Amino acid sequence: MTISSPIGVLGGGLIGMSWASLFLARGAEVIVVDPRPEAVEDLDRFVAAAWPNLAALDLTLSATPARATVTTDISALSGAVYVQENGPDRIGIKQDLVARLEEVIAPDVIIASSTSSLKASDIQAHARHPERIMVAHPMNPPHMVPMVELVAGDRTVPETVDRAEAFYLEMKRVPIRVKKEVAGHLANRLTSALYREAVHMVAEGIADVADIDKAIAYGPGMRWALMGPHLTYHLGGGAGGYRHYLDHLGPTQEARWRELGETPLSEALKDRLVAGVEAELAGQDEATLTQRRDAALVALAGLKARFGL
């Protein structure tokens, strides 16, 4: 299989390194542009650590880790066939990066932003070729979690989204088309809704951080790893399915919605949340915990594939 390349990765932080690892694993030539002098060593370490998991996911085309070209010179992307942009989530910086990219890349090359909350319409506002700019937001880490949200801006043409979808499918991702621009797109809004209540529960003394995390990890999170909330409730509706669930238990959902809280993130509350996580870690090495998480994600991906979920 031949992957179209080179692929440009603009911004070599945590998300950029993860994207680069994935693209390398799919056999692409990858050029990473990052201003940090330590970016080369950081990326080499990241790819080396990611490679066994990528191999276990059947995403690697070589036995040994491939290497990307890492540079501080954005003009190195002049021949890129696709650009994954991963700059800081501030609109001024995004617009500046777009302007700099458009000085060096071809007019038809897609600029896909990994932004977690900004809108494509704002990112493309001052672009020469806004039709090729869109959001392609992953969940962290992108090389392990397959979902990618595709969001068009006001001036993004449909062909751009079609081409981006084909690209991510080639990378063995699961692209999702978000039909309407909203801050935070789709997945982050869903996780934010849950996190808001998790923070509120700590603030109100309903439960501590560790028990809230366990409640999700050993409760609904186990089902959510296999299917989403609508299908989960459909199966929970028995013979009547989702309709029965909504008719029978919909009122209890509405009652809970009315009581959901909204708590400001004060410094005191931040301290409580951080202390709760530190207690939950209980001296565990975070690097080891990350390795365990990633190994579990590999196993989970295999389990989902095995059962068609």
44 located within any domain: yes
| pLDDT at 24 exceeding the cut of 90 | yes
Same domain membership, residue 172 and residue 192: no
Same domain membership, residue 268 and residue 166: no
Same domain membership, residue 82 and residue 43: yes
Across the beta sheet with 147-152, the strand order is 69-71, 30-33, 7-10, 82-85, 110-113, 133-138, 147-152, 174-178
275 located within any domain: yes
Retrieve residue 130's tokens: 């806004």
Question: What whole-number distance in Å separates Cα of residue 161 and Cα of residue 208?
Answer: 43
Of 119, 154, 178, which marks where a domain is finished? 178
CATH of the domain at 222: 1.10.1040.10
What pLDDT digit, counting tens, does each position of 64-90 carry?
Answer: 899 999 999 999 999 999 999 999 999
Q: Of all helices (H) and strands (E), which one includes residue 305?
A: helix 286-306
Mean pLDDT of the chain: 96
65 located within any domain: yes
What pLDDT digit, counting tens, does each position of 140-184 carry?
Answer: 999 999 999 999 999 999 999 999 999 999 999 999 999 999 999
Same domain membership, residue 143 and residue 17: yes
What interhelical angle do 187-203 and 209-217 show, nearest 10? 140
Retrieve residue 126's tokens: 């001052």
Question: Which pLDDT band, with edges at 50, 70 and 90, does 302 fall under?
Answer: very high
What pLDDT digit, counting tens, does each position of 177-228 carry?
Answer: 999 999 999 999 999 999 999 999 999 999 999 999 999 999 999 999 999 9
Same domain membership, residue 151 and residue 92: yes
Same domain membership, residue 273 and residue 136: no
Same domain membership, residue 142 and residue 270: no
Please give the tally of structural domains in the chain.
Answer: 2
Same domain membership, residue 119 and residue 15: yes
| pLDDT at 305 exceeding the cut of 80 | yes
Residues 6+ apart with CB under 8 A from 258: none
For the segment 116-134, the average pLDDT, to the nearest whole number, is 97
Its pTM stands at 0.93
What pLDDT digit, counting tens, does each position of 26-70 carry?
Answer: 999 999 999 999 999 999 999 999 999 999 998 887 888 999 999
* Residue numbers of the domain that contains 285: 187-226+264-306
Of 178, 211, 244, which marks where a domain is finished? 178
Question: What whole-number distance in Å separates Cα of residue 185 and Cα of residue 151?
Answer: 8
Residue 1 is predicted with a pLDDT of 44
Residue 2 is predicted with a pLDDT of 57
For the segment 258-276, the average pLDDT, to the nearest whole number, is 96
